[in-house]
C-alpha cells in the first residue's frame, strides 16, 4: 500500500483524460486500469466530436459540449507534440442526414430550441441539392439534413493511446490489469482505499471514480450516485478506402486512416457486447442508402461495445458530500468531452481548480427523484 | 512493370485458354486457374502496394488467408486474386494503396 | 430468411469436412457443406478432381489418395456449395455466408467447423517482399495450376512440408538452389524421446527418410541448423542470408519459399466465444473440445487441423467421429461404438508420430518472436515488432490493447498473420506464458465482405 495524492479508477477515455489533466496540472496521479478484455466503451465509440443536438432542455450540457469542442484543438496539439500520437482530430463541421421529412422537421425544431436556450449553437438546415455540394456521393434516400459548423471527429483509439502515453510522460503511475471492486473511506486519516478483486489495494487523499459501468456499484460506497446502465452500440468498420468523404455524418464517417466507420445502434441488451447479423445488415443497408458507392466497400470489423448511460442521458460529475475528496465522473460522450475532462475536470478533481460554474445540474443526486429519459442520438 | 516470371505453367491447348488483361495488357492464360497464379506466371511481381508505406506486395499464402494478393477486378477493388478463377475478358488492375470505390463518388485525383 | 436447412452444416471441404459429410450421410442425416474455395478438397487435396495424371504422379500417393475420399463424398448425397464465404456462425446453428455476391443463411441442427490449417507466420526481416511465399503457397500453385518455379529456388525453414515440396519439385524437374533448414541441433535431442512412440507410426517415419534420400541423391545443398535467417532485397527478393556453421552465408534468389509448420485456423471457433488453450507443444491456440470435437455445451463441433494439427488422414477420421457423435445426439444412431472404436484405433495410429514431429520441427524462437525492432509483424497495417514492444511498455497487457493502440491486426487479414506473433511477443516482453496473454477478440465478419453483399 502507498499514499498518493489522486487515484483515478478507470483507464478508459474518461478516466485517462481526467488523470492526464490532473497530471499536467501538477497533481501526483495514479491510474488504475483493467486488463486486456475489459468492456471498454472507448473501443466501441463512434468517434464524433459533436455538439449538434446535444442538451435540449439542459442548456448547461449544450454549452459544456460546445466548450469541449472548442478546447479540443489544444488537447490534440498538446498530445501530438508531447507523445507523437495523432488523435486524428478534424473539425470541418458535420452533417446529420435524414431519411424522412418528419425527422428532418423534428430535427430543425430541436436544433432551433438548443440554439436559443444555450445562447448560440449554430446550425443550418439543408435540402439534398445543397447537401450534395458538400457530400457528392449522397444517395437519393436522404431527403434533408442539418449542418453543424462546430462538429467534427477524432480517432478514439489514438486518443486513448495518446492519453496513456502522455500520462507516462507526465510522471503518472499507471497500473494495469487491476479490477477495482471496493472503495473505502477512512474518516480519521481522510484517506481513500481502492481495493482490487485480487486483494491489492492503494491509498490516496483523493479518488476519482471513472470506471464506466463499474461506477454503478462503486459510487454508493463513498456517498455518490451514478446509476449507469449499459447500452450496446454496434459499429461497422470498412477496409481503408481512398478519401471520398470530407465531413463526418451521423451515419458514416471516414477516418484519417481511410476506414469508414458506420454506426451505430443503441440497444438495451444487458451486459452482452456481442454483435448480431440483423443489426450488422441493417447498418450496412443504411450506409449504402446514405452513400451508394459504399456497396463496394468491404466490412473488416463489426464491434459491439457497452456504453454507460445514466437514466437521463446526461453526465454525472460530483464531489461526495459525505466523503470529501471522492469524485465521480461518468458520461456517454467520452470523445467529445475528452478535452474538457483533461483541461477542466482534471484540475478540479485534483483540487487544483474550483468547481466549474453551474455544475450542480450534473450532480448524481438528481436521480433520487423520478427518472426521466432522453434520446441520445447524434 | 513485369519481369521474368517466377513460375512457369504447363503448356495448354489454345482451346483451354482465356484472355484476361492486366493493366491493359492482354494475357492468354489457361482456364480454371486462379487470377493470382495467372499473374505470377505472366511475370507480375508486385500485385499491389501496401496501404501505409506503399511498399510492393505479392501473394504469400495462395489460400485466402493473407490478403496480400488484393487486386482490382472488373472495377471492383480489393479482390482476393488467389480465390478467384480467371474468366475470359476479365480486367485486372494493380491496387495502389487503399481501395478506391468506383461508383461515381468522386472524380478527384487522390494523393 | 433462411435459405438452406440441414441436420449438419459443415464448413470446409478438406478431409475432415468431406469425411464427416460421408459419415453423417451414412447415418441418414441431411448435410450441407460450405467451402470458400471454388474446387473441392481443401488445401491438401486441392484441385484433386481436375489435376491431370502427370501432376498427380508428381504430387505423390498421399495426394492421389484424396480421390477416393472425394469420390465417396460426391456419391454421398451431401449438398455441396463451393465459393461460399462464411462470415458468421451463431450458437443457434445459423451460418451466415456470402455466395455469388449475395448474403445467405443456412440453418444447421449441428455445425462442424473443419476450416483446416494455415501457414504459421514467419516474421523475419524481408518476409513481406514480393518473391517470398509460404511453401504451402508453392504447393498450392503446383496442385492447382501445375506451376513450377522458373529458376532454382531457395526453400527455408523447417517441417516435413519443406522436404515434401522439395521432392515434388525435383520429381517435376524444377531446380532447387538450396534448402536452408532452421531446425536447431537441440531439436533432435528434444525429439529423440518421442522416437519410440513415433516408431509405431513407422510408415510415416519411412516417408521422411525417403524424402531426405531423394534430396541427397539429387545433390541439393542442404544447410542444416541455419540461424539468423533474413530476406534481402529492396523492391523484390534478391537473396537470403543466414548463419551456417558460424559463417554468414548469402545466396542469391528471386523466389524464396518459407515454412515453419502450419497452425489451426481458429477464427471461427474464437468468433463464437469458445474456450481455447495454448498448446506449448504446437505453439498455437487450440479450441477446447471433448473427445468427439464438441465445443463446450454447444451444438458446434471442430474436426481436423482447425482443432489441432494432426494431418490429413487423422483429420478425416476426426471428421467421421464428430459426425457419429452428432448422429447419436440427433437420434440417428443408437450405439456408435461398433463404428467408432475402430476409428479411434485408426486415429491413434495416425497420430503416434505427432509428438515426435512437434518436438523435431518446433520452430525456433528467433523465427517466431522477432528479436530486432524492424520486423513487420502486422503485414496489413504495417506494424513492426518495435512498435508492439513499445505498446507493452505503455502498459498494454494483451493483444486487444496493442491492437487498439497501433491498429495491429485491424487490416483485412483480421489478425490471422500477426495474432500468434503478437501473443508470443507480449508474453516474452512481460515474462509470462502465452496462455496468460490470450488472443484477439475475433468477431464476425470473419472474412471481409462488402456492404452491398450484406445489405443486398
Q: What is the CATH number of the domain that holds A284?
A: 3.30.9.10
Longest dimension (CA), chain C: 65
CA distance A279 to C120: 34
Residues A200 and A53 in one domain: yes
A249 inside domain: yes
Q: What is the CATH number of the domain that holds A35?
A: 3.50.50.60
Which residues from C are below 8 Å from A when comparing CB atoms?
Answer: 88, 90, 94, 96, 103, 105, 273, 391, 394-401, 404-407, 410-412, 414, 437-438, 441, 443-445, 448-452, 454-456
Contact C134 B62 (CB under 8 A): yes
Structural domain tally of chain A? 3
Residues A113 and A47 in one domain: no
Confidence (pLDDT) at A375: 47
Residues A133 and A192 in one domain: no
Q: Which domain holds residue A17?
A: 5-81+156-227+312-367
Residues A237 and A223 in one domain: no
On the question of pLDDT at C266 being above 80, the answer is yes
DSSP-H helix ranges across chain B: 35-41
Query: C: neighbours with 3+ CB pairs under 8 Å?
Result: A, B
On the question of pLDDT at C206 being above 90, the answer is no
C160 CB-near residues (< 8 Å, 6+ apart): C208, C211, C357, C361
Q: How many helices (H) and strands (E) does chain A have?
A: 9, 17
Domains of chain C: 4-118+263-334 (3.50.50.60), 121-260 (3.50.50.60), 369-436 (1.10.10.1100)
Q: What is the mean pLDDT of residues C136-164?
A: 97
Residues A111 and A63 in one domain: no
Residues A12 and A140 in one domain: no
A300 inside domain: yes
B103 pLDDT band (50/70/90 cuts)?
low
Residues A37 and A76 in one domain: yes
Residues A145 and A233 in one domain: no
CA of C172 to nearest chain A CA: how many angstroms apart?
Answer: 40
CA of C284 to nearest chain A CA: how many angstroms apart?
Answer: 19
CB C405 within 8 A of CB C391: yes
Query: Which residues in chain C are closer than 8 Å to A165, comparing Cβ atoms?
Result: 394
Residues A76 and A164 in one domain: yes
A111 inside domain: yes
Cell numbers of A157, please? 483509439
A324 inside domain: yes
CA of A280 to nearest chain C CA: how many angstroms apart?
Answer: 8
Angle at A47 between CA A44 and CA A48, to 5 degrees: 140
Confidence (pLDDT) at C328: 97
Confidence (pLDDT) at C214: 82
Instruction: Compare all CA atoms of chain B with the CA of C152 and give the residue at the minimum distance.
Output: B6
Pick among A139, A241, A260 to test the B interface (most B CBs inside 10 A): A241
Residues A173 and A73 in one domain: yes
CA distance B77 to B52: 17
Residues A75 and A162 in one domain: yes
CA distance C412 to B52: 13
Mean pLDDT of all residues belonging to chain B: 90
pLDDT, one tens digit per residue, over C225-250 is 999 999 999 999 999 999 999 999 99
Cβ of residue A288 closer than 8 Å to a chain B Cβ: no
Which of A241, C109, A79, A330 has the alpha carbon at shortest distance from B70?
A241
Q: Which of A262, A285, A309 is the last residue of a domain?
A: A309
Q: Which of A288, A309, A330 is the last residue of a domain?
A: A309
Query: A: neighbours with 3+ CB pairs under 8 Å?
Result: B, C
Residues A117 and A241 in one domain: no
pLDDT, one tens digit per residue, over B29-70 is 999 999 999 999 999 999 999 999 999 999 999 999 999 999
pTM of the model: 0.94
Three-state SS annotation for C189-203: HHHHCCHHHHHCCHH
pLDDT (tens digit, 0 to 9) for every residue of chain A, 378 residues total? 455 689 999 999 999 999 999 999 999 999 999 988 776 777 778 899 999 999 999 999 999 999 999 999 999 999 999 999 999 999 999 999 999 999 999 999 999 999 999 999 999 999 999 999 999 999 999 999 999 999 999 999 999 999 999 999 999 999 999 999 999 999 999 999 999 999 999 999 999 999 999 999 999 999 999 999 998 889 999 999 999 999 999 999 999 999 999 988 888 878 788 888 899 999 999 999 999 999 999 999 998 888 899 999 999 999 999 999 999 999 999 999 999 999 999 999 999 999 999 999 999 999 975 544 444 556
Domains of chain B: 14-94 (3.10.20.440)
Instruction: Compare all CA atoms of chain C with the CA of B65 and give the residue at the minimum distance.
Output: C413
Amino acid at each position: 500500500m502507498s499514499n498518493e495524492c489522486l487515484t483515478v479508477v478507470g483507464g478508459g477515455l474518461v478516466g485517462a483524460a481526467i488523470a492526464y489533466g490532473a497530471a499536467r496540472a501538477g497533481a501526483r496521479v495514479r491510474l488504475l486500469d483493467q486488463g486486456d478484455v475489459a468492456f471498454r466503451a472507448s473501443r466501441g465509440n463512434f468517434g464524433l466530436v459533436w455538439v449538434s443536438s446535444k442538451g435540449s432542455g439542459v442548456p448547461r450540457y449544450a454549452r459544456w459540449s460546445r466548450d469541449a469542442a472548442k478546447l479540443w484543438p489544444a488537447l490534440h496539439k498538446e498530445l501530438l507534440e508531447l507523445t507523437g500520437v495523432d488523435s486524428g482530430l478534424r473539425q470541418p463541421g458535420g452533417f446529420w442526414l435524414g431519411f424522412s421529412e418528419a425527422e428532418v422537421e423534428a430535427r430543425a425544431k430541436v436544433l432551433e430550441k438548443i440554439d436559443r436556450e444555450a445562447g448560440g449553437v449554430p446550425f443550418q438546415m439543408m435540402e439534398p441539392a445543397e447537401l450534395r455540394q458538400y457530400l457528392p456521393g449522397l444517395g437519393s434516400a436522404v431527403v434533408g439534413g442539418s449542418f453543424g459548423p462546430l462538429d467534427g471527429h477524432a480517432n478514439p483509439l489514438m486518443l486513448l493511446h495518446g492519453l496513456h502515453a502522455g500520462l507516462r510522460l507526465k510522471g503518472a503511475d499507471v497500473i494495469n490489469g487491476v479490477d477495482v471492486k471496493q472503495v473505502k473511506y477512512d474518516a480519521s486519516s481522510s484517506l481513500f482505499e481502492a481495493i482490487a478483486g485480487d486483494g491489492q489495494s492503494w491509498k490516496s487523499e483523493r479518488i476519482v471514480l471513472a470506471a464506466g459501468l463499474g461506477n454503478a456499484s462503486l459510487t454508493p460506497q463513498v456517498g455518490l450516485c451514478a446509476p449507469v446502465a449499459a447500452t450496446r452500440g454496434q459499429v461497422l468498420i470498412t477496409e481503408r478506402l481512398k478519401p471520398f468523404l470530407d465531413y463526418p455524418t451521423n451515419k458514416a464517417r471516414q477516418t484519417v486512416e481511410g476506414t469508414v466507420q458506420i454506426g451505430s445502434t443503441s440497444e438495451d441488451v444487458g451486459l452482452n457486447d456481442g454483435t448480431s447479423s440483423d443489426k450488422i445488415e441493417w447498418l450496412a443497408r443504411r450506409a449504402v442508402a446514405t452513400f451508394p458507392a459504399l456497396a463496394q466497400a468491404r466490412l473488416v470489423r463489426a464491434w459491439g461495445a457497452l456504453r454507460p448511460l445514466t437514466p437521463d442521458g446526461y453526465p454525472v460529475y460530483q464531489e461526495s458530500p459525505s466523503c470529501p475528496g471522492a469524485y465521480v465522473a461518468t458520461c456517454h460522450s467520452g470523445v467529445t468531452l475528452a478535452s474538457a475532462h483533461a483541461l477542466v475536470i482534471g484540475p478540479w478533481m485534483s483540487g487544483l481548480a474550483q468547481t466549474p460554474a453551474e455544475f450542480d445540474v450534473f450532480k448524481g443526486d438528481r436521480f433520487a427523484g423520478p427518472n426521466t429519459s432522453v434520446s441520445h442520438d447524434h | 512493370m513485369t519481369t521474368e516470371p517466377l513460375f512457369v505453367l504447363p503448356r495448354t491447348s489454345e482451346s483451354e485458354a482465356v484472355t484476361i488483361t492486366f493493366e491493359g495488357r492482354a494475357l492468354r492464360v489457361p482456364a480454371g486457374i486462379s487470377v493470382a497464379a495467372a499473374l505470377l506466371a505472366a511475370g507480375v511481381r508486385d500485385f499491389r502496394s501496401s496501404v501505409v508505406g506503399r511498399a510492393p506486395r505479392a501473394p504469400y499464402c495462395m489460400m485466402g488467408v493473407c490478403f496480400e494478393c488484393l487486386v482490382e477486378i472488373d472495377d471492383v477493388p480489393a479482390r482476393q486474386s488467389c480465390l478467384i478463377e480467371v474468366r475470359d475478358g476479365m480486367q485486372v488492375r494493380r491496387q495502389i494503396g487503399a481501395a478506391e470505390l468506383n461508383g461515381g463518388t468522386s472524380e478527384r485525383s487522390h494523393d | 430468411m433462411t435459405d438452406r436447412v440441414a441436420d449438419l452444416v459443415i464448413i470446409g471441404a478438406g478431409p475432415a469436412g468431406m469425411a464427416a459429410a460421408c459419415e453423417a450421410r451414412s447415418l441418414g442425416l441431411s448435410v450441407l457443406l460450405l467451402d470458400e474455395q471454388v474446387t473441392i478438397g481443401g488445401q491438401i487435396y486441392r484441385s484433386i478432381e481436375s489435376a491431370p495424371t502427370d501432376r498427380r504422379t508428381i504430387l505423390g500417393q498421399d495426394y492421389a489418395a484424396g480421390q477416393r475420399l472425394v469420390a465417396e463424398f460426391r456419391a454421398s448425397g451431401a449438398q455441396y456449395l463451393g465459393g461460399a464465404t462464411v462470415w458468421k456462425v451463431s450458437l443457434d446453428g445459423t451460418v451466415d455466408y456470402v455466395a455469388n455476391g449475395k448474403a445467405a443463411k443456412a440453418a444447421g441442427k449441428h455445425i462442424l467447423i473443419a476450416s483446416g490449417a494455415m501457414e504459421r507466420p514467419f516474421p523475419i526481416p524481408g518476409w513481406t517482399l514480393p518473391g517470398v511465399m509460404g511453401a504451402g503457397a508453392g504447393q498450392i500453385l503446383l496442385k492447382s495450376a501445375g506451376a513450377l518455379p522458373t529458376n532454382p529456388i531457395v526453400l527455408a525453414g523447417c517441417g516435413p512440408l519443406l522436404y515434401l515440396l522439395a521432392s515434388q519439385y525435383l520429381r517435376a524437374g524444377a531446380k532447387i538452389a538450396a534448402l536452408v533448414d532452421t531446425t536447431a541441433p537441440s531439436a533432435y535431442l528434444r525429439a529423440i524421446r518421442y522416437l519410440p512412440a513415433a516408431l509405431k507410426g513407422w510408415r510415416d517415419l519411412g516417408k521422411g527418410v525417403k524424402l531426405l534420400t531423394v534430396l541427397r541423391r539429387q545433390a541439393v545443398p542442404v544447410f542444416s541448423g541455419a540461424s539468423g535467417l533474413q530476406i534481402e532485397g529492396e523492391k523484390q527478393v534478391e537473396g537470403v542470408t543466414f548463419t551456417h556453421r558460424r559463417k554468414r552465408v548469402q545466396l542469391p534468389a528471386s523466389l524464396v519459399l518459407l515454412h515453419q509448420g502450419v497452425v489451426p485456423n481458429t477464427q471461427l471457433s474464437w468468433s463464437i466465444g469458445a474456450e481455447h488453450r495454448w498448446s506449448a507443444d504446437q505453439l498455437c491456440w487450440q479450441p477446447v473440445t471433448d473427445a468427439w470435437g464438441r465445443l463446450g455445451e454447444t451444438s458446434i463441433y471442430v474436426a481436423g487441423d482447425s482443432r489441432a494439427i494432426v494431418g490429413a488422414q487423422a483429420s478425416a477420421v476426426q471428421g467421421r467421429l464428430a459426425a457419429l457423435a452428432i448422429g447419436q445426439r440427433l437420434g440417428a444412431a443408437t450405439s456408435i461404438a461398433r463404428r467408432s472404436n475402430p476409428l479411434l484405433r485408426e486415429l491413434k495410429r495416425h497420430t503416434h508420430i505427432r509428438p515426435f514431429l512437434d518436438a523435431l520441427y518446433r520452430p525456433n524462437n528467433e523465427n517466431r518472436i522477432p528479436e530486432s525492432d524492424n520486423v513487420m509483424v502486422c503485414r496489413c497495417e504495417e506494424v513492426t515488432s518495435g512498435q508492439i514492444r513499445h505498446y507493452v511498455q505503455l502498459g498494454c497487457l494483451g493483444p486487444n490493447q496493442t491492437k487498439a493502440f497501433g491498429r495491429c491486426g485491424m487490416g483485412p487479414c483480421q489478425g490471422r498473420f500477426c495474432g500468434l506473433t503478437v501473443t508470443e511477443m507480449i508474453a516474452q516482453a512481460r515474462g509470462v506464458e502465452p496462455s496468460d496473454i490470450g488472443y484477439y477478440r475475433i468477431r464476425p465478419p470473419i472474412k471481409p465482405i462488402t456492404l452491398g453483399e450484406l445489405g443486398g
